[in-house]
């Protein structure tokens, strides 16, 4: 795992501004590229995307560049300011920024959800309701491309974060066509030093013929 990843939640919460300075100028995450390749493989045209926890804004900018409308959600005001300042003017009209937690944001119906290293920052007591709302807004034929921390991650003791077991991951994607679930479970580096990474990368699609 690249050593540009985030620092753990700590007393007073993570220093996201420092994290954004650290990640600024990076390439889109491999998971994002993998998700976009899955969409391209079946000829999905740009529609409504949602990014949760957009951070330095790399993936939102890329989606806008490809012609998507994007609702970009992140509770950190620094993230919104930096994103707005960095989006090319022709793309601004297709961007809506919500400075909100994922659990409090009103998500529109969407064709693509991307969330990289962000969903585990949803409080455990709020996660299930958030996930039900997210599934309800996923349009038939729409994709989810996201990752979430597993229960063996070094940070799994943090009471403000959500960690999931493998069987929970499969429950979360029940009813979807799973394109990939990749599990990382190994020691590596992070922004704040060595840690054990336990992470599920998920790419899945709601069936086109899905009346539910
Ligand atoms: C580790 S960063 C990931 C940023 C970016 N996606 C990336 O890959 O670099 C996590 C982001 O999630 C945001 N975040 C924290 N709590 C959140 C919540 N409850 N809902 C949505 N986003 C949250 C933070 O502000 C931060 O920008």
What structural domains and CATH numbers belong to the chain? Answer: 31-36+46-205 (3.40.50.150)
pLDDT reported for residue 13: 78
pLDDT reported for residue 1: 36
Task: Give the mutation target among 28, 106, 121 for probing the ligand 1 site: most ligand atoms within 8 A of CB.
Answer: 121
Spacing, Cα 20 to ligand 1 middle (Å): 10
The burial of 45, by beta-carbon neighbours within 10 Å (0-12 exposed, 13-18 middle, 19 or more buried), is given as exposed
What distance lies between CA 106 and its chain's CA centroid? 16
Q: How many CB atoms lie within 10 A of CB 118?
A: 20
Spacing, Cα 16 to ligand 1 middle (Å): 8
Task: Give CA–CA dist 128/120, Å, rounded.
Answer: 12
Q: Which residues have C-beta atoms less than 6 Å from ligand 1?
A: 6, 16, 23, 29, 52-56, 73-76, 79, 101-103, 116-118, 121-122
Confidence of residue 4 (pLDDT cuts 50, 70, 90): very low
pLDDT digits (tens, 9 = 90+) for 168-188: 999 999 999 999 999 999 999
Spacing, Cα 121 to ligand 1 middle (Å): 7
Mean pLDDT of 190-194: 85
Confidence of residue 2 (pLDDT cuts 50, 70, 90): very low
């Amino acid at each position: 795992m690249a050593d540009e990843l985030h620092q753990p939640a700590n007393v007073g919460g993570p220093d996201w501004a420092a994290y954004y300075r650290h990640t600024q100028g990076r390439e889109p995450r491999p998971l994002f590229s993998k998700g976009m390749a899955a969409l391209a493989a079946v000829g999905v045209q740009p529609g409504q995307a949602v990014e949760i926890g957009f951070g330095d804004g790399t993936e939102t900018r890329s989606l806008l560049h490809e012609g998507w409308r994007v609702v970009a959600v992140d509770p950190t005001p620094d993230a919104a300011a930096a994103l707005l300042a960095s989006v090319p003017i022709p793309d601004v009209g297709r961007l809506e920024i919500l400075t909100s937690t994922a659990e409090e944001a009103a998500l529109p119906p969407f064709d693509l959800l991307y969330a990289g290293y962000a969903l585990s920052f949803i409080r455990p007591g709020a996660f299930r309701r958030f996930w039900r709302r997210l599934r309800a807004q996923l349009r038939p034929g729409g994709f989810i491309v996201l990752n979430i921390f597993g229960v063996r991650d070094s940070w799994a003791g943090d009471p403000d974060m959500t960690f999931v077991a493998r069987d929970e991951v499969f429950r979360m994607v029940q009813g979807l066509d799973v394109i990939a679930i990749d599990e990382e479970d190994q020691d590596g580096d992070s922004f704040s030093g060595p840690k054990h990474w336990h992470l599920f990368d998920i790419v899945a699609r709601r069936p086109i013929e899905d009346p539910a």
